[in-house]
Chain A
Amino acid sequence: MRPLALSTHTPGTEVESKLALTEFLLSNRDVQASARRTLDWLSAHTQVEQAIVALRDQLTGQVLLVAEYGVTSIHVVDFGLRQEDTEHPLVRALLKTEPTYFESTPKAFQAPVLAPFHAIPLKGEDDDTPDGLLIVGARGPEVDPDVAWIGRVLGRQVSRLVGRSTLADSRFGQERMLLYSIINAVTDPILLTDTEGKLIIANSHAEKLFAAPEDASEGWRRAAALNNMLFSAALSTSAVAQTDLARRELLLVDPLEGSDLLFELLSSRAKDERQGTYVVSILRNVTDLARAKEEIEESYRTLRLAQAEVRDERHRLELIIDSVADPIIVTDPEGDIVLMNEPAERLFTVSQVAGDAPHRRVQANGAHLTSFVSNVLTESGQRRYRGELQLLDPASGRPSPMEGLAGQILSEQRELIWVVTILHDLTEALDKARLYEQLKKASAELERKVQEATAELAEQNELLRRQQIGLEQASALKSQFLANMSHEFRTPLNAILGYTHMLLNGVSGAVSDAQRKSLSRIDSNSRHLLALINDILDITRIEAGRMPLNVTSFDLPQLVDEVMSELEPIIKRSTLAVSSRMSSKLPALRSDRQKVKQIVLNLLSNALKFTPAGSVTITATYDSRNRMVRIAVRDTGVGIGEEDQVKVFEDFRQLDSSPARGYGGTGLGLSICRRLAQMLDGSIDLTSELGKGSTFTLSLPARVRRR
């Protein structure tokens, strides 16, 4: 065994201590005590770290260990040497007279002391047979003088005492072995220390914690050193000194595992007459206990959390069922209400201060509910029941028709534990049904009105249709009337023109210049009136749809030639340069020749009429992309202001409408031309600048659409 803590012994002088040891040995008759005291001196005064004293039993021939120092108890227990085993190096050393030096531990040889060591035979005089061995750790082959001295002193003492009392008689060796065996058999670490914490005896379990073998890892060493410090600190507290039995917790390190080990440290003082006060410490490993405790605490916490969750769950459930607008009632199998939500409370509970009527109504409601719930409580085995209840609003007494659904809640053992009843207020449903009826009635009414309106509309349509027929007839009559009118106009006009003409031609004799002038006025006004009548007739016919299209194929250049020759007298009278340019790509037109001619004639005569000087040009071109023919009449005449360019196409428009105008015409020409162009799917466009001239362009499809 090695010292666990530094000894605080203060050695006296060498001579004094040797004297004291010698005196002790002379007065002492116990061989074991002598051996122990000798080793104590060695540990105190030399550098020796390990030493044992083994003595030969005269009867059994066994070599028994009687004292040790710095040696593990395992080695103490295992130490066994027989005198007959002469091959054993230690036995051979025993039989020698001089110390044997072991530089290393021999093979197949168990030595309690680590090599190098000396095995020093213990004997009285030089010729005596050694009675035992002092095995002591060495630093070299040379035996330390102090060690040699101890060997001699102890040899004499052993020789003196062995002769009187044998080892076997004293039996201390066996008892000692037994004691070691017992404490080693205890699974708890047990230590015997002095009051300062210096280790005297430790069992194998304690050694594992507090002593690291020579070849131990660095970690193990550190753990053992730490454990020693912790243990000493625990012992040094005053508690140990004051009470006989101290109990506390001690946290140590498992040197092999590195994990924390929790021990319960039980320390008690033991007094020995000879050797003073010792402290016996028993360490009980409570690591697992602590762990178990923690686990229990953890499960307790979990349980608490679970309970809180269950509470929350129930709270939430209550919130949920309270938030349901329909009354929900939970009853036990006896029919007593165990839970209900707020809407249900309004039906089945009443405040104490309420009057008699609300109390009666609540009781009546409860009775209705009980009989309703009984539908699922009977032996019929029905798990759900749906039906209607006639409840009353407790406050107002207003009937509350309810639809109810009662359902059984069964336990895992299929036993009925609760009945849940959900009520649904039918008042709203009945209201809705009533509203639906009203809506249906209103809808029917609406449908009837729509039908009436439709019938009326049909009637009005019929009326309109008849009116349209009437209008068409009226329009036709109007056209006929106008046609007749124009005929009737013409007849007298014919006479006026004729007689005027005859007078001017001298049928009735010569006329004076003044008469001729007047007759000329009559003639020109009559002609104007005739032109007006003809134009009105044209417009009337177009608008009445009685201007039929007479579609034929014809060539445009020929038509233009005709027009120019018809206007030849006027052209000749003027000083204008009149020309025509016909594109060679012009196709044969398929249109109403007479109407095209009428338009071109009108445009050209207008151009001649309104051009005092310069030129008039007719050009005809063909655009093959849209198959349109363009006939443009360009003049260098008076032109038309932008503000008037739309007006010229209106009925009865002539820019200068004075009776004394120099142009003549009815003011209907362009209006008729535009109408005729539209009949032919074409159009007339005008570009003009006042004082510079005008260009009227007739655009026509090369082939008029069939209609």
Chain B
Amino acid sequence: MTGPASREPLVLVVEDYQDAREMYSAYLQFSGYRVAEATDGVEAIEQAQRLMPDIILMDLALPRMDGWEATRRLKSDERTRDIPIVALTGHALAGHAEGARLAGCDAFVTKPCLPDALVTEIKRMLSASSRAKRNGRHLGQPRS
């Protein structure tokens, strides 16, 4: 983990599968981001409240508390609801994307997702987020 003092955006990677988690972390760091990690939903909420990351990469299938539930809680928390969440799922079955959106996810990426594709998506979300901030809009609100 990298210190929060840096000016680079902090990405919270929530992923229970260690290899994938570390792979995304490594590539994000390689791409110039600061990275924090969590292995389940409960940990994800704790880290988000503590670190206030710029963006959260949330795997949906998680132990203890799954990604949907964690997303709902984060989005219903005054402090964390403006943090954009990119859902990450291996299930391409219909309904997963919709379920993720209903839970409050801002974007949806299907595994397998190559590290550079993921970084591209995060870059896109962050720039949208910063535009929204400049325009005084909250990202977490549902898009009409």
Contact = CB atoms under 8 A, between A and B. Distances in A.
A494 B113 contact: yes
B113 A502 contact: no
Contacts of B115: 498, 501-502, 505
A507 B112 contact: no
Interface stretch (B18-26, B63-71, B128-136): B18-26
A494 B111 CA distance: 7
Given A495-B23, A498-B115, A499-B23, A487 B30 contact: no
B91 A487 contact: yes
A86 B84 CA distance: 190
Interface of B: 17, 19-20, 23-24, 26-27, 30, 61, 90-94, 111-116
Nearest to A548: B94
Contact of B20 (A487, A495, A507): A495
Contacts of A494: 20, 90, 111-113
Nearest to B114: A501
A534 B27 CA distance: 25
Given A483-B93, A498-B112, A491 B27 contact: no
A537 interface: yes
A359 interface: no
Contact of A502 (B30, B91, B92, B112): B30
B26 A490 contact: no
A532 interface: no
A502 B113 CA distance: 12
22 contacts: A487-B91, A490-B90, A490-B112, A491-B20, A491-B90, A491-B111, A494-B20, A495-B23, A497-B112, A497-B114, A498-B24, A498-B27, A498-B112, A498-B115, A499-B19, A501-B114, A501-B115, A502-B23, A507-B26, A507-B27, A507-B30, A546-B93
B114 to A, nearest CB: 5
Nearest to B111: A494
Interface in A490-531: 490-495, 497-499, 501-502, 505, 507, 530
Given A498-B24, A505-B116, A490 B111 contact: yes
A542 to B, nearest CB: 12
A373 B111 CA distance: 112
A483 B115 CA distance: 24
B81 to A, nearest CB: 29
Contact of B90 (A487, A501, A505): A487
Nearest to A530: B112
A498 B23 contact: yes
Contacts of B93: 483, 541, 546
A84 to B, nearest CB: 170
A541 to B, nearest CB: 7
| Of A490, A494, A502, A547, most B-chain CB atoms within 10 Å | A494
A563 B4 CA distance: 44
Contacts of A541: 93
Contacts of B26: 502, 507
Contacts of A548: 94
Contacts of A498: 20, 23-24, 27, 112, 114-115
Nearest to B29: A507
A495 B16 CA distance: 13
A534 B112 CA distance: 11
Contacts of A530: 112
Contact of A537 (B92, B111, B114): B92
Nearest to A538: B92
B112 to A, nearest CB: 4
Contacts of B112: 490, 493-494, 497-498, 530
| Of B20, B27, B114, most A-chain CB atoms within 10 Å | B114
